[in-house]
Structure 1
Amino acid sequence: MFLSSMTNHPKMSVEYDEALVWITIALLALGLVMVYSASIATAEASRFTGFQPAYYLIRHGLYIFLGVIAGAIVFQFSLQTWQTMAPYLFLLGVALLILVLIPGIGHEVNGSRRWLPLFIINLQPSELIKLFSLLYAADYTVRKGLVKDHPGRAFLPMLTVMVIVGSLLLMEPDMGAFAVICAVSMSILFLGGFNIKMFAWLLIALPVAFAALIFASPYRMQRLVGFMDPWSDPFGKGYQLSHALIAFGRGEWFGVGLGGSLQKLFYLPEAHTDFLLAVIAEELGFVGVFLVILLFSGLIIRAFIIGRQAANLDRQFSALVAQGIAVWLGVQAIINIGVNMGILPTKGLTLPFLSYGGSSVVVSCAAAALLLRIDWETRRIVKGLPI
């Protein structure tokens, strides 16, 4: 019924999802402006940047350009091709996760070894493995469709794979990426129709596992304590969060004005990366934060609609990829927003499309291009055209 009404709509002559394109452009444009605003003081005072105030602006613009190129390349391949390549891409992602842990190869920053230096940019394998794990989980779900009610043959192999990926990520360490991959993989299995009883054990096991990881690591425990009461140690464990909350408080309804943030002036660490939303809140106020949430809500809704359209045409892999992207971007955005607002413990997760970070921007653009490809193929099939 839904697709029938779509085919009669005059806008079905358009070969792509216009709303998705404009939402993506709006997020990238807002991110470019706010990254410049949040980083200009830091860049101007840093020897590392050559005291150039536009250092991060130029690099972030380059990342967006590379993301657009990557998206254009991703769009050229059919979903059938992506399904065929999914296991090999996943193995490539695992190999990169191993490579980044090798001393002398992986680049270490602030005690975390998460980057592979590639000439003028650094590649973050944990960003790539999010996309590769999503494709692999979707392909795995389709392949295991006939045995999806059998725990040993359907569920345990995927669980083993996720344990391996999780172990590699925790060695970096990057618990935030591990949490996102777990959420996306389990969501795809659930949406693919796997026996719901198998997920009951996960509801018990995962919280216990994450609690064990927190108690076994002193720095994770410090983050948890700082999150629960940042004002008890505002110059220590709660420093970052307390300044983020100050930024939200100063912004009020309409903000102090673009460029007027005080917290970005060497008070709030990582202002242009993980805590970009705090600067948005201070400079653009509640209105700015609401706009960000509205844009992400629109993106996620469009992704689920694209997935439903593909499912109506019995294109299961395409449907699961679209829905998996919706879960991935939604969960990561929720975690980042929650961290900035003091609702969740501090995690090193960027805000997709917005935060400074080459790998994150490029992979986010690739995910958007995949959504556009799924939608494009769906529209072609509805019209009876080849793909």
Structure 2
Amino acid sequence: MAKDTPNASGYTPNALSKRKQNSTGVFSMPSAGSVLMVSVSCLMVLSLIMVASASIPFANMHDISQLYFFKNQLMYMGIGLAAAFMAYKVRLLWLYDMLTLASALMMVILLLIATLLFGDAINGSKRWIEIGPFNFQVAELAKLVMVMFTADFVVRRGTEVRQGYGGIFRMGVLVMVLVGLFLSQPDFGSLVIIIGVILAIFFVAGAPWSQSGFLVVGGLIGAAYAVMFQEYRMTRATSFLDPFDDIQGSDYQLARSLIAFGRGEITGVGYGESVQKLAHLPEAHTDFLLAITGEELGLVGVLTVLALEALVIASAMRISYTALKNRQMRLSYTAFGFAVIFIGQGVINSGMNMGLMPTKGLTLPFFSYGGSSMLISLVMVGILLNIHKNTSKIPTAQCRHY
């Protein structure tokens, strides 16, 4: 056998080939899991920075520690990361066990009922329940559970979903229970997200167009009914059309949000220099944190946040597509459902901040202040990374179980 002889550069042909392979590997596209972790980490850091800035005036007004909300956000991030690690380590097959899903769904329904019975009313809504020393918003858990339950349902009942109306009627019974519970709180925004993600999963699972149309029409009728018979919802639904016609009344928050964006222009007025957070924009560290970001960091800061959100969504979609190629349908629909939730909340939160949509109490994932949202969103990331890690390791013969 002939030996390799060094060329003019001192490398043998085999060594040169390996060097080219290594060099190519350096410039290969990063994995979906890596992009997801980096994007979420950057959003969490930006969240802490902006929550610290936006919440200090509110904390001063209520005589609490200036960094109270910063520390709370950091604490929930720590709890969320621990929960995400457990979700990353759990056996995927266990997540789709019928007993697990049924137990989780029953727990959500019972917690929603307990919230109505024992929860404290905050700003006129009963959305939070005390669990030990923490306030927890059950709607966030409901989003996670409904994605996984629906992903399993459209696979287990695939024939009913794709042929006729059996699948949608079965799911409709559960949805009507949730509609009653969420409208009693009331939490119209979370209900819209949950119904939207169910509709999206049914659609990609092959449900006929007639079913999708039925769901859309039913959803629009339900939304119109909920809006028309509640004066405050009608006011919210129409106030964004002219955000300055009642600047001291129904348009107060939206008008201040637009003023904040206007002041920030391209590069912002400077970190910590926002005027709108000084009692002009109530609780600016929650739903309108993006507006304060626009004022202090300008268009550059807002685009950075939205670009990171887009990377999170793209990573989840990529994980879903990989599972789809491997015919692991439950995993694919689950990752897709999480991406739809991130899209829905991102569009609604940023849209209401910019005056493009009515104001709703929905957080911008991984960025807005909110312990329950941060906790459940990080659990979703843990499950996504679990899927990404295991999707290529599942034997072909077992794919139907996933």
**TM-score category, normalised to shorter length:** over 0.9
Q: Alpha-carbon deviation of 1:208? A: 2.3
Q: Quick one: distance in 2 between partners of 1:89 and 1:119?
A: 20
SS at structure 2 position matched to 1:233: coil
Task: Report the TM-score when normalising by structure 2.
Answer: 0.89
Q: Which residue of 2 aligns with 1:148?
A: 161
Task: Report the TM-score when normalising by structure 1.
Answer: 0.92
Q: Which residue of 2 aligns with 1:44?
A: 60
Q: Quick one: distance in 2 between partners of 1:234 and 1:156?
A: 45
Q: Which residue of 2 aligns with 1:89?
A: 104
Q: Which residue of 2 aligns with 1:100?
A: 115
Q: Which residue of 2 aligns with 1:316?
A: 329
Pick from 355, 373, 376: which aligns with 1:360?
373
Q: Alpha-carbon deviation of 1:177? A: 0.1
> What is the one-letter code of the residue matched to 2:45?
A
Question: In 2, are the aligned partners of 1:112 and 1:172 still within 8 Å (CA)?
Answer: yes
Q: Quick one: distance in 2 between partners of 1:382 and 1:17?
A: 21
> What is the one-letter code of the residue matched to 1:30?
L
Q: Alpha-carbon deviation of 1:17? A: 1.5
| Aligned residue-pair number | 373
Q: How does 1:1-387 map to 2 (within 5 A)?
A: 17-47=33-63, 49=64, 52-84=65-97, 85-102=100-117, 105-381=118-394
Q: Alpha-carbon deviation of 1:230? A: 2.2
Q: Alpha-carbon deviation of 1:106? A: 0.7
Q: Quick one: distance in 2 between partners of 1:198 and 1:328?
A: 21
SS at structure 1 position matched to 2:357: coil
Q: Quick one: distance in 2 between partners of 1:35 and 1:148?
A: 44
> What is the one-letter code of the residue matched to 1:29?
V
Q: Alpha-carbon deviation of 1:97? A: 0.7
Q: Quick one: distance in 1 between partners of 2:121 and 2:259?
A: 30
> What is the one-letter code of the residue matched to 1:26?
C
Q: Alpha-carbon deviation of 1:45? A: 2.4
SS at structure 2 position matched to 1:122: strand
RMSD: 2.2
Q: Which residue of 1 aligns with 2:5?
A: none
Q: Quick one: distance in 1 between partners of 2:267 and 2:394?
A: 46
Q: Quick one: distance in 2 between partners of 1:213 and 1:323?
A: 28
Percent identity at matched positions?
A: 36
Question: In 1, are the aligned partners of 2:32 and 2:318 still within 8 Å (CA)?
Answer: no
SS at structure 2 position matched to 1:148: helix
Q: Alpha-carbon deviation of 1:92? A: 1.0
Q: Quick one: distance in 2 between partners of 1:144 and 1:381?
A: 22
Question: In 1, are the aligned partners of 2:165 and 2:211 still within 8 Å (CA)?
Answer: no
SS at structure 1 position matched to 2:273: coil
> What is the one-letter code of the residue matched to 1:359?
S
Q: Which residue of 1 aligns with 2:18?
A: none
Question: In 2, are the aligned partners of 1:256 and 1:283 still within 8 Å (CA)?
Answer: yes
Q: Quick one: distance in 1 between partners of 2:255 and 2:166?
A: 48
For structure 2, the 5+ residue unaligned runs are 1-23
Q: Alpha-carbon deviation of 1:271? A: 0.6
Question: In 2, are the aligned partners of 1:188 and 1:320 still within 8 Å (CA)?
Answer: yes
Question: Larger Cα Rg: Structure 1 or Structure 2?
Answer: 2
Question: In 1, are the aligned partners of 2:73 and 2:371 still within 8 Å (CA)?
Answer: yes
Q: Alpha-carbon deviation of 1:153? A: 2.1
> What is the one-letter code of the residue matched to 1:169?
F
Q: Quick one: distance in 2 between partners of 1:15 and 1:317?
A: 21
